[in-house]
Amino acid sequence: MDEALLRSLTPSVLALLVRRGADFAAAEDAVQDALVEAVRVWPADPPRDPKGWLVTVAWRKFLDQSRADTARRRREDRAGEEPAPGPAPAVDDTLRLYFLCAHPSLTPSSAVALTLRAVGGLTTRQIARAYLVPEATMAQRVSRAKRTVSGVRFDRPGDVATVLRVLYLVFNEGYSGDVDLAAEAIRLTRQLAAGTDHPEVAGLLALMLLHHARRPGRTAPDGSLVPLAEQDRGRWDTRLIAEGVAILQAALARDRLGEFQAQAAIAALHADAPTAEETDWVQIVEWYDELLRLTDNPLVRLNRAVAVGEADGPRAGLTALAELDGSLPRHTAVAAYLHERDGDLETAARLYAEAAHHAPNLAERDHLTRQAARLNARRH
C-alpha cells in the first residue's frame, strides 16, 4: 500500500466532490471512507487509475450518506446521478482547499487540524497522536472546523498570508508521535508552491528546508539540545541547504520581499557559514532590520538583540535587549547568554536557572539547567 500516493491524491479528490455539489463536511467524510476502503482493497487489487477509483468510491459513499438522510434530499437531487466510471478530470482545486482550511473564522489549532486532515490526508488518529491529545478531542476539533466552513463560498481570492501562517504552525510542531509534522509541512508547502506563483510561498518553503537541513545536528545522542554554535555542521543536510538557497535566490530576484523570504535569508547565512565563528552576523543584523520593516514583531527584536550581541559585542546586545519587554518568551535566556558573553557569570547563572523554570518544554528546561550548573561550577 502506497500511503504517500493516497495522501497526495486526497485533496484533489475532496475538491472534485465539492465541485460536484457535496458540502465540505459530507465530502470530507466520504473521502475518508474511500481511503479506508482503498487500504482494504488495493493491496490485492490495485486500480489502474487510483484517483479515478477514489473519486468513484467517494462519490458513492457521499450519495449513500445523502440518501440515508432525508434532510439532504434537496442536495441529492442537485447532485444528480453517479458519474460513469473512467479517468478522473484533470481539474485540481487543491489550492481552494488550502484557503478554505485557513478560513479566518477558525482558530489556529482548528485550521491546522483541518489542513492536515483535508489537504494532508492524515487520519484523525494520526493528527491526535502528533499533537499528543486524545483522539476524541481531535475528532471534535476537526468536526467543529468542518461545520464552520461547510457553507463557505469561494467568490473572491483567498488570503495567501493566512495559508502560510497555518503551514508555518504545522512546521513548528516538529515531530511527535507517528507523524513527522515538519516533513508533512514541507510536503504541503511544496504542493502549494506547485499550484501558486507567489514569492512568499517560495520564501516559506526555502525557510522550512533550511531549518530542516539542520535538524540532524540539533540533538545529541541522549536527546539533549545542542545550541547552533555547538552543532556538528557535518551532520547538516547539504542537499536541502542547496535546494533552499536556490529557491530563496529565485524568490528574492523578483524584488517582492516578504517576511518569510527575510527569515529564509537569515537561515541561509547560518547555513552558509563553515563554522559558527565565521557567521556573517553583520549581514544577519541587516536582514533583521529588513524583517522589522516588514513586521514589527517583538520576537524578531529579541532575535535581533542576539545578532547585535554577536556582531557588535555583548554590551550592545544587552542595550538592545533592555528596550524589550522582559516577559517575552526566551527573554531571560537571551539575557543569560549575553551576560555570560560579557563575563558576568554570576548574573548569567542566575538568569539561566530562572529561564529554566519558565521553559516551554522538558528538553529546553534541561538545557538551561545544565547551562546554569556549568557556570556555577566555573565560579567555585
pLDDT tens sequence across 333-345:
999 999 999 999 9
**Is the pLDDT assigned to residue 18 strictly greater than 80?**
yes
Least confident interval from 71-75, 243-247, 256-260, 272-276 = 71-75
Whole-structure pTM over 0.85, yes or no? no
Least confident interval from 38-42, 95-99, 208-212, 278-282 = 95-99
Tell me the pLDDT of the chain averaged across its residues.
Answer: 88
**Residue owning grid cell 473521502:** 31
φ, ψ of residue 227 to 5 degrees: the values are: -60, 155
**Three-state SS at 23:** coil
What is residue 177's predicted lDDT score, i.e. its pLDDT?
Answer: 54
- Cα torsion 64, 68, 69, 73 to 10°: value is 70
Residue 214's nearest CA partner among 190, 242, 236 is 236
- Count of CA atoms in the C-beta half-sphere (13 A) of 147: 5
What is residue 12's predicted lDDT score, i.e. its pLDDT?
Answer: 87
Least confident interval from 33-37, 64-68, 113-117, 247-251 = 64-68
Residue 328 CA to chain centroid, in angstroms? 22
Which amino acid makes up residue 139?
A: A
What is residue 77's predicted lDDT score, i.e. its pLDDT?
Answer: 53
Q: Where are the beta strands (DSSP E) in 151-297?
A: 175-176, 179-180
Q: How confident is residue 181, by pLDDT bands cut at 50, 70 and 90? A: confident
